[in-house]
Amino acid sequence: MLDPNLLRSNPAELADRLRTARGFELDVPALEALEASRKQIQIRTQELQNLRNTRSKQIGMLKAKGEDVSAVMAEVAGFGEELKASEVELERIRGQIEAIASGIPNLPDASVPAGSDEHGNVEQHRWGSPRVFDFEVKDHVELGARHGWLDGETAAKLSGSRFTVLRGQLARLHRALAQFMLDLHSGEHGYEETNVPVIVNADSMRGTGQLPKFEEDLFSTQLGEHKRYLIPTSEVPLTNIVRDDILDAERLPLRMTAHSMCFRSEAGSGGRDVRGMIRQHQFEKVELVSISKPEESDAEHQRMTLCAEAVLEKLGLPYRRMLLCSGDMGFGATKTFDLEVWLPSQNTYREISSCSNCGDFQARRMQARWRNPATGKPELAHTLNGSGVAVGRALIAVMENYQNADGSIDVPDVLRPYMGGVASIC
């Protein structure tokens, strides 16, 4: 959530920035009308509250003197109903303003290039050279059909479209990738391995910005009066660990990693990547989350991205880093780097990791703060999150980049200890 002062001080200027950078239309007249009503009602509410307090003291003094208080009590009763109604109306208007504020995306950092979509993204660098094959390349679906390793038909019988059953050596390779990533991030990169719930409450989803704007993208469950949500990424529970907390400066940056199931409805993405495992309703990811001091978040963002890049480099997978333009970033991000891995079957790079600095946008929603030793006062922290990386897409990339003419798949060196020393699966 943006600083409320931006909404109050100059909403027209904010609207221009949002329109230019994000293609977002802020209803300024509606916001200004609500803000004017809020100010008017708040002034009257405070007047009535002060009057009540004054009359309460007067009643106490009159009682102490043994004097009649009936007239004053009648006066208090007279404005009591107005005060109650004023407080209710003030809360209603504040709720409307907060609803508008909750739907406004974060503002881009000054270093983010302008652009309306992915065509405005800027390539930062590339690593590795795509392999030249001397045989016809198969995609991951064809490779996975061997021995029924990758089975979409059975998954559709069990759950519907966009689910996958993995079997045998391919399932083990998938598990090996997740274990390798966790060991790397916790053992070498300094992230604390964390196991988190995959079902969270609405407060957690609001804290990281999935609610209220993106509810249609979420899977939810209802038990009695309690509605809960399946996480789209473990960014949600990891980041919300610090919700309503005030952290000591010595704890920052707080770095956490988790391997979890992720669930997304993929609303509005029909017809895109429906073949195989590229875009699933259920998938696994190793997530990276950092909570940092504001002045350190840019450096922490760079560091997090390098940690994700290390996964791909150790796996020997060619990739490129993209700086996303203002119109292609996620809702809560102020700056995002995407890592795109080379997929031979598509002859292009495809996203496998997204690392974002959210500034204080999520922290303001969650009231996640740190105590600045220089002032002794709590201040909003900065939150960052990144894929370190998507396990299913890493599996696809390994399958396609390490395939052989006979359909077998070589196992990257760093994964062999997790595969019992197996050099290839066939």
pLDDT of residue 266: 77
Is 234 assigned a ligand-binding role in the annotation? yes
**129 assigned binding-site residue:** no
Check residue 268 and give its pLDDT: 54
pLDDT of residue 249: 97
Respond yes or no: is residue 86 known to be catalytic.
no
pLDDT value, residue 353: 98
To which residue do tokens 């003419």 refer? 405
State how far the Cα of 371 lies from the Cα of 380, in Å rounded to an integer.
9
**What is the C-alpha separation between 104 and 106, in angstroms, rounded?**
7
Answer yes or no: pTM beyond 0.75.
yes
H or E stretch including 385? strand 382-390
* Sheet of strand 319-323: strand arrangement: 122-127, 319-323, 335-343, 348-357, 382-390, 282-292, 254-263, 192-193
Catalytic-labelled residue, pool 38, 264, 321, 364:
264
- Candidate list 17, 126, 228, 279, residue with the active-site label: 279
Is 186 part of any known ligand binding site?
Answer: no
What residue has token string 């274990």? 179
Q: Is 354 an annotated catalytic residue?
A: yes
**193, 215, 351, 379: the active-site residue:** 351
Q: What whole-number distance in Å separates Cα of residue 402 and Cα of residue 166?
A: 18
Q: What is the pLDDT of residue 274?
A: 66
Q: Rounded to an integer, what distance in angstroms lies between the CA atom of residue 81 and that of residue 287?
A: 52
| DSSP state for residue 403 in the 8-state scheme | B
- Under a CB-based contact definition with an 8 Å cutoff, are residues 331 and 214 in contact? yes
Question: Is 25 among the residues known to form the active site?
Answer: no
User: Cβ–Cβ contacts within 10 Å for residue 132, how many?
Assistant: 6
Determine whether the annotation assigns residue 353 to a binding site. yes
- What pLDDT is attached to residue 269? 57
* Of 206, 321, 364, 393, catalytic: 393
CB 407 within 8 A of CB 425: no
**153 is known to lie in a ligand binding site:** no
Q: What does the pLDDT read at residue 273? A: 67
Non-local CB neighbours of 310 within 8 Å, separated by 6+ positions: 184, 188, 189
- 424 known ligand binder: no
User: Is 303 tagged catalytic?
Assistant: no
Catalytic residue among 86, 290, 354, 356: 354
Task: Identify the pLDDT of residue 61.
Answer: 74
Please report the pLDDT score of residue 140 as a whole number: 97
**Annotated binding residue 425:** no
Q: Catalytic residue at 393?
A: yes
Residue 354 is assigned to a ligand binding site: yes
Weakly modelled stretches of the chain, pLDDT under 70: 72, 78, 267-274
104 in a known ligand binding site = no
